[in-house]
Structure 1
């Protein structure tokens, strides 16, 4: 998207790890400045996730104090890390499917970090911020019974199909500014459910990236979901989990807005 809000064809097949590792963002920026990117008529077109085939989706649990409190959990001393299957990723306006046998499908608006450079054993916050290609809106959809009542393996409640809508945009760090000053909001059927700010993260973006690089190699195109504020169904009176026909809308300041209709697998 250019400064006037027009969509442009970047002239590359897709944005993936190879694109990011080879300086694709810089190529696109230079081509835009030259006026070399044609305008796209997006009428009737599907908007997909802004990253194709992430190598991995790494998630941080209980990263907001208010969400830890509503979950009945202690504030963690170190980041709580779990993985989400990479094929959970869908576009920001695609349907979310309730899994077969699910009774506790939940929502989570989250700031997603997209890695742009290989990173291992990062030694400082500055190094950590330097490997980030950009940020996006993520809905870390979760099935709480699968997650918490079926043997204690979080991944089972996080990796069902369609459980990671991402986008609509990959916004570069220079346009985001301070990632710890972004409002996050989510609505279900028009009713406000989550209203938080990244200021309230227990472990901020730089620390999350630095910490993860001590335990795994982060590669271009990897996605990190950094946690959600309070307001999930699990923590609400009556626990109003998602049902087929519901509509979820979510946004993060400066990163765009998502909308998903809930269906049945």
Structure 2
């Protein structure tokens, strides 16, 4: 007896699950592409916003990567045997999630960064007096770095809860079996818990990555030259608001839809194959 795996076949137009939404998005993208190809003004806007797209991608990748690492650390803190560590992690999550990202961005940029610089200068005062290092100035911390750090803090609290849910979804029997095999805590985490938790947390992580792409536009309030900031500057000087913000929306949509489709593809490939039925070999 053998089992045949499901085969993925292309969807037809008559299929009720046919992605008409993707077809509609493709039509909109085609319309914008034609406008860019036929109008030099549109091409000029694309060239300007493309410079900001590089910053948007950089902010998204660095901030989400940092949030993943910090969020996993906080989630492990929620699972700690120490009551102090558990409560500290819970306190961090509730405080950060309760503050709007824009407010947190301003606080870290204009309150946290100066406080950090002042604290560092106090600690390193003996080295500065000896001429070994130069005192740090607030201007030495770029607005881009402050914005990325703020997004890391903001999203780490949300990702921590996602990781916590994924870890708790791992059957207790798996953990007990790992203990019986003599695996140490870090080995259990790396070899047993995390590989199983990843499949559970992949869809919500993809959703948060899409949100990160969109929320990266908030860094424009600090003057960081991302898509939104470049579009705002160009539109205010050329008064071509419709064209500028249409292309800005198109670029964000292109990135978010690409991430969503890639995440769905990855989720499908990681899902275990389901047999149709047992048939004679």
Same fold per superposition (TM over 0.5): no
TMscore range, shorter length: under 0.3
Instruction: Provide the TM-score with structure 1 as the length reference.
Output: 0.23
RCO comparison, higher one (Cα < 8 Å, 6+): 2
